[in-house]
A and B are shown apart, each in its own frame.
Chain A
Amino acid sequence: MSDVVIRVENLSKRYRLGGIGARSLADDVSRMWARMKGAEDPLLKIGAKNDRLQLASKGHVWVLDKLSFDIHRGEVVGIIGKNGAGKSTLLKILSRVTGPTAGEVKIKGRIASLLEVGTGFHPELTGRENVFLNGAIMGMSKNEIRKKFDEILDFSGIGGYIDTPVKRYSSGMYVRLAFAVAAYLEPEILIIDEVLAVGDAEFQKKALGKMESVSKNEGRTVLFVSHSMSAVQALCSRCIMLEQGKVALDGLPRPVVDHYLNGGLGESVFGTVGADYPRNQYHPGMLRIRAVDLLGSDGNRIETLRYHERMRVRITLDVEKPLNDVIVALTAGNELEENILFASSADRRNDPPLVLQTGEQVIEMEINQQLQPGSYFTGIMLWDKNGYPYDALRRFGRFFVEDFGDNDRYYRWKSRIGMVNPDTTVKLLT
Chain B
Amino acid sequence: MSNEPQDEKWTLVLAPRRGWFDLRLGEIWRYRELILLFVRRDFIASFKQTILGPLWFFVQPVLTTIIFTIVFGGLAGLAPDGPPKALFYLTGIVSWGYFAECLTKTAGTFVTNASIFGKVYFPRIVLPVSVVISGLMRFLVQFVLLLGVWIYYLATDAAFQPRYELLALIPVLLLISAGLGLGFGIIISSVTTKYRDLQQLVGFGVQLLMYLSPVIFPMAKLSEKWQHVIMLNPMSAVIEYMRAAFLGTTGENPMYLLYSAGFMLVLLFGGLLLFNRVERTFIDTV
A92–B195 alpha-carbon span in the complex (Å):
23
A109–B9 alpha-carbon span in the complex (Å):
10
Q: Which residues of chain B from 31 to 60 have a CB within 8 Å of any chain A CB? A: 31, 33-34, 37-38, 40-41, 44-45, 48-49
Cβ of B121 under 8 Å from chain A: yes
A220–B117 alpha-carbon span in the complex (Å):
25
A203–B122 alpha-carbon span in the complex (Å):
28
Assuming A107-B11, A133-B37, is B281 touching A120 (CB within 8 A)? no
Assuming A97-B118, A104-B15, A107-B11, is B283 touching A125 (CB within 8 A)? no
Cβ of A98 under 8 Å from chain B: yes
Q: Is the CB of A99 within 8 A of B116?
A: no
A95–B194 alpha-carbon span in the complex (Å):
22
Q: Is the CB of A15 within 8 A of B12?
A: no
Assuming A98-B283, A125-B45, is B120 touching A120 (CB within 8 A)? yes
Q: Is the CB of B285 within 8 A of A116?
A: no
Q: Is the CB of A106 within 8 A of B33?
A: no
Query: Which chain B positions have C-beta within 8 A of A93?
Result: 14
A109–B10 alpha-carbon span in the complex (Å):
8
Query: Which chain B positions have C-beta within 8 A of A95?
Result: 120-121
Q: Is the CB of B14 within 8 A of A100?
A: yes
Assuming A25-B195, A96-B121, A98-B284, is B41 touching A122 (CB within 8 A)? yes
Q: Is the CB of A20 within 8 A of B121?
A: no
CB-CB contacts of A118-135 with B at 8 A, as 1s and 0s?
A: 011010110001001100
Interface locus among A137-145, A268-276, A277-285, A411-419: A137-145
Query: Which chain A positions have C-beta within 8 A of B44?
Result: 124-125, 129
A141–B120 alpha-carbon span in the complex (Å):
16
A138–B8 alpha-carbon span in the complex (Å):
26
Q: Is the CB of A111 within 8 A of B116?
A: no
Q: Is the CB of B48 within 8 A of A124?
A: yes
Nearest neighbor of A2 in chain B, beta-carbon distance: B8
User: Chain B interface secondary structure, helix, strand, loop or mixed?
Assistant: loop
Q: Which residues of chain A from 12 to 35 have a CB within 8 Å of any chain B CB? A: 15-16, 20-21, 24-25
CB-CB contacts of B250-286 with A at 8 A, as 1s and 0s?
A: 0000000000000000000000000000001101110
Query: Which chain A positions have C-beta within 8 A of B285?
Result: 16, 20, 24
Query: Which chain B positions have C-beta within 8 A of A15?
Result: 284
Q: Is the CB of A99 within 8 A of B119?
A: no
Q: Is the CB of A101 within 8 A of B119?
A: no
A112 to chain B, nearest CB (A): 9
Q: Is the CB of A20 within 8 A of B194?
A: yes
A95–B119 alpha-carbon span in the complex (Å):
8
- The CB with the most chain B CB atoms within 10 A, among A15, A93, A98, A141, is that of A98
Cβ of A216 under 8 Å from chain B: no
Cβ of B171 under 8 Å from chain A: no
Q: Which residues of chain A from 68 to 116 have a CB within 8 Å of any chain B CB? A: 92-111, 113, 115-116
Cβ of A136 under 8 Å from chain B: yes
Q: Choose among B10, B31, B45, B120 the residue that contacts A97 (Cβ–Cβ < 8 A).
A: B120
Query: Which chain B positions have C-beta within 8 A of A92?
Result: 118, 283
Q: Is the CB of A104 within 8 A of B14?
A: yes
Q: Is the CB of B33 within 8 A of A136?
A: yes
Cβ of A9 under 8 Å from chain B: yes
Q: Choose among B1, B13, B120, B281 the residue that contacts A137 (Cβ–Cβ < 8 A).
A: B120
B207 to chain A, nearest CB (A): 27
Q: Is the CB of A106 within 8 A of B281?
A: no
A255–B195 alpha-carbon span in the complex (Å):
47
- The CB with the most chain A CB atoms within 10 A, among B13, B120, B283, is that of B120
CB-CB contacts of A309-323 with B at 8 A, as 1s and 0s?
A: 000000000000000
B234 to chain A, nearest CB (A): 29
A113–B195 alpha-carbon span in the complex (Å):
29
Nearest neighbor of B196 in chain A, beta-carbon distance: A21
Query: Which chain B positions have C-beta within 8 A of A199?
Result: none
Q: Is the CB of B13 within 8 A of A119?
A: no
Q: Is the CB of A124 within 8 A of B13?
A: no
Q: Which residues of chain B from 90 to 147 have a CB within 8 Å of any chain A CB? A: 116-122
A4–B16 alpha-carbon span in the complex (Å):
21
Q: Is the CB of A136 within 8 A of B117?
A: no
Assuming A120-B116, A125-B45, is B14 touching A137 (CB within 8 A)? no
Q: Is the CB of A97 within 8 A of B121?
A: yes
CB-CB contacts of B1-21 with A at 8 A, as 1s and 0s?
A: 100000011111111101000
Q: Is the CB of B1 within 8 A of A9?
A: yes
Nearest neighbor of A130 in chain B, beta-carbon distance: B41
Q: Which residues of chain B from 218 to 241 have a CB within 8 Å of any chain A CB? A: none
Q: Is the CB of B14 within 8 A of A99?
A: yes
A306 to chain B, nearest CB (A): 40
A61–B31 alpha-carbon span in the complex (Å):
36
A4–B45 alpha-carbon span in the complex (Å):
44
A165–B216 alpha-carbon span in the complex (Å):
43
Cβ of A301 under 8 Å from chain B: no
Nearest neighbor of B35 in chain A, beta-carbon distance: A136
Assuming A25-B195, A97-B117, A97-B120, is B45 touching A122 (CB within 8 A)? yes
Nearest neighbor of A117 in chain B, beta-carbon distance: B119
A113–B41 alpha-carbon span in the complex (Å):
22
B53 to chain A, nearest CB (A): 13
Query: Which chain B positions have C-beta within 8 A of A290?
Result: none
Interfacial residues, chain A to chain B (CB-CB below 8 A): 2, 4, 7, 9, 15-16, 20-21, 24-25, 92-111, 113, 115-116, 119-120, 122, 124-125, 129, 132-133, 136-139, 141-142, 165
Q: Name the 4 nearest CB pairs between A and B, nearest first.
A: A96-B121, A99-B280, A105-B14, A106-B10
User: Could you name 27 residue pairs across A and B whose Cβ atoms are closer than 8 Å?
Assistant: A4-B8, A7-B1, A15-B284, A20-B194, A24-B194, A25-B195, A92-B283, A94-B14, A99-B15, A99-B16, A99-B281, A100-B15, A101-B16, A102-B16, A105-B14, A115-B118, A115-B119, A119-B116, A120-B116, A122-B41, A122-B45, A124-B44, A124-B45, A129-B40, A133-B41, A136-B34, A141-B33
Q: Supply 14 further A-B pairs (C-beta < 8 A) apart from A97-B120, A99-B14.
A: A20-B285, A25-B195, A95-B120, A96-B121, A98-B280, A103-B16, A107-B12, A107-B13, A108-B8, A108-B11, A113-B119, A116-B120, A119-B120, A136-B33
